[in-house]
Amino acid sequence: MKLYGFFRSGTSHRLRIALNLKSLSYEQVSVSLAKNQHHQDEFKALNPQGLVPVLETEQGLLTQSPAMIEWLEEVYTEVALLPKDPFEKAKVRALAAIVGCDIHPINNKRVLEYLRNNLGQDENQVLAWCAEWISKGFEALEALLQQDQTRQNFCYGNSATLADVYLIPQVYSAKRFKVDLTPYPTIVSIYEHCMQLEAFQKADPAQQADAI
């Protein structure tokens, strides 16, 4: 498989974690968001939306990280990232969706550029925007994680799931946007636990060949 992505893209980071947890081998192709390579025709031929990541599989190209991760989950079943029980599965997907649907999309590069370039916001205002939506999402996540009495060192149960695949890149991004994480001790402890595992360490943005 070939993963087109960028080292600090949260959605590319998700894919690297999922692929590593499932011990799948993949080649990485860097599409620099810093150099706006995602806007170039060559990349748009792969994804007309002009967003990373793109996953090249033997069957063809996949876009949208949730679709890619669900595809990996259905095809490579040896290491499961979702519980079998439909209700428990929905609970894990809900934790992931707080990040995937309600935090990440409104802190994306193109949204922040619109705030700067079209709405005239300065860097402090942009950082305040990011902190607001990350904090709102993390408040809810922290509460849900604390309510779960059966949870161990991960977001759910005693092994990594889809929820951790989504959460860890979002914590990386929160640190990058200088969000105070002290109100979220459970999230921080899950992050610290996951970062002891090779699958997460190898996926970390700082470890990628295109890190700048």
Ligand X SMILES: N[C@@H](CCC(=O)N[C@@H](CS)C(=O)NCC(=O)O)C(=O)O
The answer to whether the beta carbons of residues 65 and 16 sit under 8 Å apart is: no
DSSP-H helix ranges across 8-63:
10-21, 41-44
Question: Which of residues 35, 44, 110, 202 is near ligand X by CB under 6 A?
Answer: 110
96 binds ligand X (CB under 6 A): no
The answer to whether the beta carbons of residues 178 and 131 sit under 8 Å apart is: yes
Instruction: Quote the strand ranges of the chain, DSSP E.
Output: 2-5, 27-30, 54-57, 60-63
| Closest CB to ligand X among residues 94, 151 | 94
Measure Cα distances from 164 to 18, 51, 56, 80, 93 in Å: 9, 22, 23, 13, 10
Judged by CB under 6 A, the chain residues 43 through 62 that form the site for ligand X are 51-52
The C-alpha angle 70, 203, 177, rounded to 5 degrees, equals 100
202 binds ligand X (CB under 6 A): no
Stretch that binds ligand X, among 21-29, 80-88, 108-116, 200-208 (CB under 6 A): 108-116
Binding mask 164-183 for ligand X (x = CB under 6 A): --------------------
64 binds ligand X (CB under 6 A): yes
The answer to whether the beta carbons of residues 29 and 4 sit under 8 Å apart is: yes
Question: Which of residues 32, 108, 159, 186 is near ligand X by CB under 6 A?
Answer: 108
10 binds ligand X (CB under 6 A): yes
Total of chain residues touching ligand X, rule CB under 6 A: 13
The answer to whether the beta carbons of residues 110 and 87 sit under 8 Å apart is: no
Beta 54-57 vs 27-30: how paired, if at all?
Answer: unpaired
| Closest CB to ligand X among residues 149, 164 | 164
| Closest CB to ligand X among residues 63, 159 | 63
Question: Which of residues 7, 11, 28, 166 is near ligand X by CB under 6 A?
Answer: 11
Judged by CB under 6 A, the chain residues 12 through 41 that form the site for ligand X are 33, 38
**Cα-to-chain-centroid distance, residue 128:** 21
User: Which residues lie near ligand X (CB under 6 A)?
Assistant: 9-11, 33, 38, 51-52, 64-66, 108-110
